[in-house]
Amino acid sequence: MNIGIPREVQADEHRVAVVPSTLERLRKAGFDILVESGAGARAEAKDGKYVEMGATIVPDARSLFEGSDVLLKINPPTEGEIALLRPGQTLISFINPADDGNRVQAIAQTGASVLAMDQVPRISRAQKLDALSALANIAGYRAVIEAAHHFGRFFAGQMTAAGKVPPARILVIGGGVAGLAAITAARGLGAIVRAFDTRLAVKEQVESLGAEFLVLDFEESGEGDGGYAKVMSDAFLEAERKLFAEQAIDVDIIVTTANIPGREAPKLITSGMVESMREGSVIVDLAAERGGNCSLTQPGEVVVHHGVTIIGWTDLPGRMPELSSRLYGNALAAMIEELGGADDWNIDLDNEVIRGSLVAHGGEVTWPPPAPSEPTQEKNYAKDFGERPQAEKTETAEATTEAAKSSPVGLVLSLIAAAALTICIGLWAPADFTMHFTVFVLACFVGWQLVWNVTPALHTPLMSITNAVSGIIILGGLLHLSVDSTTAAVVLGALAVFFATINIAGGFLVTRRMLAMFRK
């Protein structure tokens, strides 16, 4: 099978779907790679680099589309590109199906299968395919860089012989991926950062990055589906704007990231707020593509109003084309692997990641996907590593008790068998065996109680305890190996040392990786 990488036709697009460094993963998946000439020129990826990695350069888009089984793009296909699609082909790209239903219908009529990278379900298993988060991370960082470029002072405060320079005060509206990236970048440059989000769940994340989280005294949750914010009530928005009006007077830079999928961006910064800001202040509107969070934002332009610079760039990730292309290409490679590679290529409608991303298949529009069936409570809590509420624990315990009551014969037989085994061991087993068996039973009981009664969220810290237990096992195994024992004892001792060593090494590895997540 052939994978085709066309050149993005938009004049202001500098990215490419796949950079040369990603081709190795695609080739390992069993594909031959076709690249349109000049596709990566604006992302620091010349044709020669693709050739060095085993790709074939194709002169034009028509030849590329005709020779490719799978097409990898960034932007939604244009009318000309849709006309080149054919039945049996697969297109993987950003599609934004909620924005243009006519385009989706036109794509479906070609008979090609289309997967939208912007529709990948936000579940743990699909994190490596989450291109939106990867690009939002870049946009948040780049927003701060653009603000620094237009701001007339240092971000960090300084005391010099020539005078004092106060630190910049920055307000970040939105605590999603882009907002957190903006906070990290601004704090790294030394600014004083405040942040606001309708979802109180992000409060700890914001504060862990060194920013102040602004809390609105209003009883309404902003949690929406898939981790996104939801549309808030008019009363909440009014209270929110009052908070922003107070902050606009005090801060130097505002970065807005409030965006709700499939809707126009909410207007959070009014012209009056802009006029209340000090001259030289900057607003960076990451929602400019959907109309902007500021009422004065001009998408794709930089405007100055009352001395305040309002940046409405819609291509912030594209302003770092090499990095954006590399991260997006990694997400595409993960999607290709999810589809089975060239040897096992399969658009599996039972795969929740594939089905959630599928926009068109077999000549029909398949978006939006059907609502997923509700998983069992145990699966939900196992997935989220959370503890079940007490009420559900009680219900489960009652159900278990009822199940036990419904089969008393099995319980009685089990108790009789256990008692008979214990009596036999006590009457006929050697004294040494009886002692070791008693210790073994007690160890099993204590270990079971130790692990079972720990909240699932604490299972990773439990590694330290399991390492200690494994250390005891290694000590016992070494004692067997260091004395004259039977062959069976030596073998068992060696196995105990081997498996306990694996457990200890794995425990330290997992612990180190967990601790690294909290280091700056």
The catalytic residue positions are: 122, 127, 130, 133, 228
Q: DSSP characters for 38-56? A: TTTGGGT--HHHHHHTT-E
Q: Which of 8, 40, 10, 9 is nearest to 23 (CA)?
A: 40
Separation CA 245–CA 267 (nearest Å): 13
- For 225, phi then psi, to 5°, come to -70, 140
CA angle 435, 437, 442 (to 5 degrees): 100
Q: Which of 285, 393, 333 is nearest to 131 (CA)?
A: 333
Q: Give, for 321, the enclosing helix (H) or strand (E).
A: helix 321-338
Which 3 state secondary structure label does DSSP give 197? Answer: coil
Separation CA 344–CA 340 (nearest Å): 5
Rg, Å, the chain Cα set: 30
Q: Which of 284, 352, 242 is nearest to 147 (CA)?
A: 284
Strand order of the β-sheet with 358-361 is 56-58, 32-36, 2-5, 70-72, 90-93, 113-116, 358-361, 364-365
CA 361 vs CA 82, 313, 338: distances in Å? 14, 34, 17
* 294, two tokens: 């500021």
Cβ-contact 388, 377 below 8 angstroms: yes
Separation CA 224–CA 347 (nearest Å): 29
CB atoms within 10 A of CB 171: 26
List the helix and strand counts (H, then E) for the chain.
18, 17
CA 249 vs CA 128, 213, 268, 279, 454: distances in Å? 41, 18, 15, 11, 49
CA 429 vs CA 97, 423, 435: distances in Å? 73, 10, 10
269 DSSP 8-state letter: B
Q: Which of 117, 94, 174 is nearest to 140 (CA)?
A: 174
